[in-house]
Amino acid sequence: MNLTIEKLTKSFGDKQALDIDHYAIHSGEIIGLVGNNGAGKTTLFRIILDLLHADTGCVTIDGYVDGVPVSCDTAKSEEWKAYTGAFVDTGFLIDYLTPEEYFRFIAKISGIKDDVLHDRLLQFDGFMNGEILGQKTLIRNLSMGNKQKVGIIGAMLHHPHLLLLDEPFNFLDPTSQLAMKYLLETYSHEHKATIIVSSHNLTHTLDICSRITLLEHGLILKDYDRDYAMLNSEIEEYFRGQQSGKI
């Protein structure tokens, strides 16, 4: 699934939160969105997902779903929702359901049968680490890490062609972070899906992403192709420069 952003701007009062002239993501890419707090990562996610109104510009998703060409502007149509999965924060979770009920709810509204759901959940077994299913607990009573896992699994259950995850490594313990990395790599490989991940964890982001986009003050400063050694040193240098500038 391709994603194209054209002349996108968004400001909150006097503050320019986003200003992207042109940005294109190609099918099958895993994009890592990095930047300091307030860089505009979550705002960009929200605009892509039509949860926030852009001042100008548009976001277009196009590609093939089951061999059929699709194309739509996310603010003008709801068609993209069928092949897009996303988790931004706990505001995506219906927290008075148990994880099982939540997954079943998503499966039902996505047209997934019970046996298929069962098989799909098995694929997340390692990631869930025995802490999600069968706990007889509502989502609101889970730890932040486990809520994060429920949200991520919920976003991936219907096998979306485009997956957006905002800070997916947050709140996860080291084992789950590694499982998360493996999960994303496997998913991308198996489904040829386009994945956009924002994160403050540079190591994990660099490990899994084929492309890294550096966002700062709403602007795309750099767009790196994967070359781990060069990327690592360049990005670290950038953030070190930012820090020394502040100090």
Interface contacts to another protein, rule CB under 8 A: 49-53, 78-79, 81-82, 84, 86, 88-89, 91-98, 100-101, 104-105, 108-110, 136-138, 140-141, 154
Q: How many residues appear in the chain? A: 247
CB 191, min distance to another protein, A: 18
Closest CA to 207 of 32, 42, 34, 37: 32
Instruction: State whether residue 2 is helix, strand or coil.
Output: strand
Q: Whose Cβ is closer to another protein: residue 3's or residue 206's?
A: 3
32 versus 99: smaller Cβ distance to another protein: 99
The secondary element (H helix, E strand) that includes residue 149 is helix 144-156
Residue 144 CB, shortest distance to another protein, in Å, is 15
Shortest Å, Cβ 101 to another protein: 6
In Å, what is the CA distance from 68 to each residue of 64, 75, 132, 154? 5, 21, 36, 25
Distance in Å, CB of 46 to another protein, minimum: 8
Beta-bridged to residue 214, according to DSSP, are 34, 222
Residues ≥6 apart with Cβ < 8 Å to 159: 120, 191, 193
Q: CB of 201: closest distance to another protein in angstroms?
A: 23
Exposed/middle/buried for 203, CB within 10 Å: 0-12, 13-18, 19+?
Answer: exposed
**Phi-psi category of residue 67: left, alpha or beta, with phi > 0 → left and psi -120 to 50 → alpha:** left
**Burial class, 47, CB count within 10 angstroms (exposed 0-12 / middle 13-18 / buried 19+):** buried
CB of 187 to another protein, least distance (A): 18
The residue among 113 and 189 lying less far from another protein, judged by its C-beta, is 113
Nearer to another protein, 159 or 226 (CB): 159
